Amino acid sequence: MTCPGYQKLCKRSREVYLLRSIAGVLSWDLETYLPSKAVPYRADQLGYLEAKAHALFTEPWVGDWLEESEQFNFGQDSEQAANVREWRRSYNRATKIPVSLVEEFEKTRTVAREAWVGARAESRFSQFEPYLEKIVELTRRKADFWGFVESPYDALIEEYEPGITAREVKQILEELRGALVDLLREIPAESVPENFLDGHYPIPGQQALSREVAAAFGYDLAAGRIDTTVHPFATNLGPFDQRITTRYDEQRFEVCLYGIMHETGHALYEQGLSTSRVGLPSGEAVSLGIHESQSRLWENHVGRTAKFWHLWYPKACPHLPDLGRYSVTELVKGVQRVGPSFIRVEADEVTYDLHVLLRFDLELALIEGRLKVKDLPEAWNSRFQELFGLVVPDDRRGVLQDSHWSLGAIGYFPTYTLGNLNAAQLMFAAEKQVPGLSDQLAQGHYQPLLDWLRDNIHQHGRRYLPAELMRRATGQTTQTRYRIAYLRDKYLG
């Protein structure tokens, strides 16, 4: 016995996926190779594809197919039931927003992004202020349309991390803050200087080494590639096409090497999704907090370790002879250096989540109407000084550093911290469940870890909500204590 509505949903879902995968190719090209004068038409092409995909998924009969599928007797825990649940969630969210608001939001984003680039270059928040005001206003209207119980922020974060609330995020970040501030106080002061590992690291050597590492971690380069961009990212362009990008700094090899490890983590997740479920929710990544756990795990738990460098030091030196000036111990000290800094994307593992906390507090206050956009820089600077003990020198290194708000992505930042927590918790579980994992990693046998992640995370796609997925993989929903224990052990142990 089959359910025709479900079959129609599968077909429609695959078509929407195909359109979005086409947009993925165009976006990748936009970020990597597009000639500068071609940008405006690329925006038209992307807008067209997104509008088509949105229209296809919000047609009234999609709602009929959903109702038919919901009344059909799929097993409660079946893949089909999970697909129907996820389609329902996406459908309800998509159809709640009037098309006019979708359009206005898209247009506002495009100009706000441009304004942000200009404002950041000149380090003048006032240039960006009116655009951000509009973004916040439209975002609050979207939250109202989506609906929420406690905070409009709940409706926003749902877009990136289904099932979590602002209250839960707040609790997590507060817990972390206390622990991190304690830890920072305890870390010995005699640490290495900021430019400790600076040298001359030629790009071809960096490329060769980072490709070798990515391949060793399990990245299938016949189903992916590595290109150069200003802002590194990982992206899925369709089945067997998971690309990553990086940037090179000839003085600092860490920018590329750890960037590649991070993006490889994202790509490994996408390459581990089921190829027979392409275009269905059960074949898609479940949330940004889970996605970020994969990148953080490979970058920090695997790569930013003494184990990694004991193994890779002799392999890395021929590619980057300047590494020979350091002992393995010194290299490890360098890549594990901890210290307060202005820029989130360059922050060390210990202070990173404080950057997220700052942004979460501020965007929550903006969305709940407790903070005005015009007061944002002052709020940023005073809160930053409180958390890091540093005076923000200018807006560029302060409130203007991230693109997220200009892109209308309010509610996104907490997923970075969730990723950090999930990474530590998954690693803890893997260490218990995979026999001899630590020794395997020390010998460069990364497959057992990857297999465990494939089995426990990747293959499930969106079958379970993130909390349930974590519970199944680790026995608990996302906790702070694994990350705290990991950091204390790594930086004090």
Residue 61 makes contact with a second copy by CB under 8 A: no
- The size of the interface with a second copy (CB under 8 A), counted in residues, is 34
- Of 158, 168, 263, 270, the catalytic one is 263
- Residues in 278-307 that interact with a second copy by CB under 8 A: 278
Task: Answer yes or no: are the C-beta atoms of 352 and 344 closer than 8 Å.
Answer: yes
The one-letter amino acid at 267: A
Beta bridge partners of 242: 236
| Contact window for a second copy (CB under 8 A) among 116-124, 218-226, 321-329, 415-423 | 218-226
CB of 193 to a second copy, least distance (A): 36
CA 13/CA 378 separation, integer angstroms: 46
CB of 90 to a second copy, least distance (A): 21
| Number of alpha carbons in the 13 Å side-chain half-sphere of residue 190 | 1
Residue 203 makes contact with a second copy by CB under 8 A: no
Residue 81 makes contact with a second copy by CB under 8 A: no
Place of tokens 């304004």: 115
- Mind giving me the DSSP string for 135-157? HHHHHHHHHHHH--SS-HHHHHH
Start-to-end CA distance of the chain, whole Å, equals: 59
Residue 31 makes contact with a second copy by CB under 8 A: no
Judged by beta carbon, residue 273 or residue 409, the one nearer a second copy is 273
Residue 55 makes contact with a second copy by CB under 8 A: no
CA angle 8, 24, 296 (to 5 degrees): 105
Q: Which of 101, 192, 208, 223 binds a second copy (CB under 8 A)?
A: 223
Task: Answer yes or no: are the C-beta atoms of 273 and 459 closer than 8 Å.
Answer: yes
Q: Which of 59, 67, 220, 346 binds a second copy (CB under 8 A)?
A: 220
SS3 244: strand
Place of tokens 């971690």: 217
Q: Which of 4, 7, 11, 38 binds a second copy (CB under 8 A)?
A: 38
CB of 224 to a second copy, least distance (A): 6
CA 420/CA 451 separation, integer angstroms: 20
CB of 328 to a second copy, least distance (A): 34
Residue 41 makes contact with a second copy by CB under 8 A: yes
CA 481/CA 476 separation, integer angstroms: 11
| Contact window for a second copy (CB under 8 A) among 29-37, 342-350, 387-395, 398-406 | 29-37
Residue 34 makes contact with a second copy by CB under 8 A: yes
Residue 49 makes contact with a second copy by CB under 8 A: yes
Residue 273 makes contact with a second copy by CB under 8 A: no
- Mind giving me the DSSP string for 58-98? H-HHHHHHHHHHHHS---TTSHHHHHHHHHHHHHHHHHHS-
CB of 230 to a second copy, least distance (A): 16
To the query of whether residue 263 is one of the catalytic residues in this protein, the response is: yes
Residue 51 makes contact with a second copy by CB under 8 A: no
Strand order in the sheet with 234-236: 226-228, 242-246, 234-236
Taking residues 233 to 252 in sequence order and writing x for each that binds a second copy by CB under 8 A, - otherwise, the string is ----xxxxx-x---------
Task: Answer yes or no: are the C-beta atoms of 478 and 173 closer than 8 Å.
Answer: no
The one-letter amino acid at 40: P
Task: Answer yes or no: are the C-beta atoms of 406 and 425 closer than 8 Å.
Answer: no
CB of 40 to a second copy, least distance (A): 8
SS3 251: coil
Residue 21 makes contact with a second copy by CB under 8 A: yes
Please provide residue 245's backbone torsions phi and psi, each rounded to the nearest 5 degrees.
Answer: -135, 165
With both helix axes pointing from N to C terminus, report the angle between 466-474 and 414-433 in degrees, rounded to the nearest 10: 20
Judged by beta carbon, residue 15 or residue 468, the one nearer a second copy is 15
Judged by beta carbon, residue 279 or residue 411, the one nearer a second copy is 279
Q: Which of 42, 54, 96, 113 binds a second copy (CB under 8 A)?
A: 42
Task: Answer yes or no: are the C-beta atoms of 63 and 93 closer than 8 Å.
Answer: no
Residue 100 makes contact with a second copy by CB under 8 A: no
Judged by beta carbon, residue 33 or residue 61, the one nearer a second copy is 33
Residue 45 makes contact with a second copy by CB under 8 A: yes
Active site amino acids: 263
Interface residues with a second copy (CB under 8 A)?
15, 18, 21-22, 25-26, 29, 33-38, 40-42, 44-45, 48-49, 220-225, 227, 237-241, 243, 278
